[in-house]
Structure 1
């Protein structure tokens, strides 16, 4: 089974992003910063926030859904806010997406907010709401279930250090996973956590028997050349000890976002 986690950056690198996601042959795609804008007739819209303007692919989720017809597709928005084409304003949803190859039946799932709640009238003040999605699949070929969860961790303008909100977020993620995971399941948890490696979040997740593959294997960079700041940790992939890892790679090339894709092959 192949699992890929990626902060898609709103599709800003759409030209390399789409063929990568289509051709990577993932069985499960865990995607953060996905966009869906119903009623938009333009391919690109602009996100505006305190003088900053960022291009967003207007219907990234729907485009990827059409490009991956052999997958079940789930979109889980955290908020509906404004995107613009010039002076025209569009209501646009922003959040997580999960794609699962249909050869792996979904036998359990849960989604919920790990910080804040859904906002229907704007993206809201920082730190903005965040959610997580947890699925339980059955692997027919190998004869066992596996639980997979991903989240987009909250962004705090003060930095990536531990805060009470991040502690709550970690505990909420554990609670969500426990709704789905059965005793003895293989478990994979991934996403853009917006955290530093020493965060207490990892101690909290260790209550599920999880250990991080990024730091434990000596990787020091989960960002691409499109990200100019330090530190360069953001994305993580954690597994329980019964997950047999064949390959794990924070993918350096191609660059499809300001985040690297995390690619896991497991037995």
Structure 2
């Protein structure tokens, strides 16, 4: 399962959904981790952009998936607010892997800029990626899964040199974690439209994109009010390994829809 968790804004629906669906691997973007706070909610402020943030979203999801190894990958540490009190808080992505699947390889890196230790930084901000290689005993094969949260450009989701560079870095991370014979999965909230250079770069590398390739009309829930109906993608190197692929619309757990791949 791949999902942008929207900072845990809809945690009341997201956590039960994750617990019940119990994916073998969950690739989760837009994750908040505030280890110095016991608060459930804090506030993000960026000019006129004010959002509630689930202060310990990483902990919440870890609790919902007690049978999983939980790995948090920060992109930046900035400040959230408890009223007028600043609280250090890390922002990034996380991967959760069922404990019965051995993690035989792992890679963490940046697809745009590097770790921002003091503040979330100017847009477009630092973006990280994480990959795991797990062994599937039932299928007697390894599966490598790499995900990222693509950079947000205030001007829109058009092609830019930075987005092309991050696609190549994502591909490089996937190649580093994969070995010949693996089923390779690359996914995430790429923050690009269909027909983008990002998807073309990944396609040229032999990856098959499942969202538009299977006629999905949107990966956004009704919580998303802006133009543009795509952000999230999932690609595989071997389409014959795909048992099913679904974009989940109900329940709505974020302004993004969960992408669920069964191999």
Q: Structure 2 length as normaliser, TM-score?
A: 0.98
- CA contact 1:106–1:137 (8 Å) conserved in 2: yes
How much does 1:41 deviate?
Answer: 2.8
CA distance in 2, matches of 1:77, 1:235: 20
How much does 1:67 deviate?
Answer: 2.4
Q: How is 1:1-267 mapped onto 2 (pairs within 5 angstroms)?
A: 4-241=1-238, 243-266=240-263
How much does 1:66 deviate?
Answer: 2.1
Structure 2: which 5+ residue stretches go unaligned?
Answer: none
CA distance in 1, matches of 2:83, 2:240: 49
- CA contact 1:187–1:243 (8 Å) conserved in 2: no
- CA contact 2:124–2:151 (8 Å) conserved in 1: yes
How much does 1:145 deviate?
Answer: 0.6
Q: What SS is found at the alignment partner of 2:243?
A: strand
CA RMSD of aligned residues (A): 1.0
Q: Structure 1 length as normaliser, TM-score?
A: 0.96
Q: What SS is found at the alignment partner of 1:47?
A: strand
Q: What SS is found at the alignment partner of 1:157?
A: coil
CA distance in 2, matches of 1:50, 1:180: 39
How much does 1:242 deviate?
Answer: 5.1
Structure 1: which 5+ residue stretches go unaligned?
Answer: none
How much does 1:133 deviate?
Answer: 0.6
Q: What SS is found at the alignment partner of 1:194?
A: coil
- How many pairs were matched up? 263
Provide runs of 4+ in structure 1 moved above 6 Å.
none
Q: Deviations over 1:100-138 (max 9, x none)?
A: 001110111111000001001100000001011111110
Q: Deviations over 1:141-165 (max 9, x none)?
A: 1111111110000000111011000
Q: What SS is found at the alignment partner of 2:202?
A: helix
CA distance in 1, matches of 2:177, 2:159: 27
Q: What SS is found at the alignment partner of 2:63?
A: helix
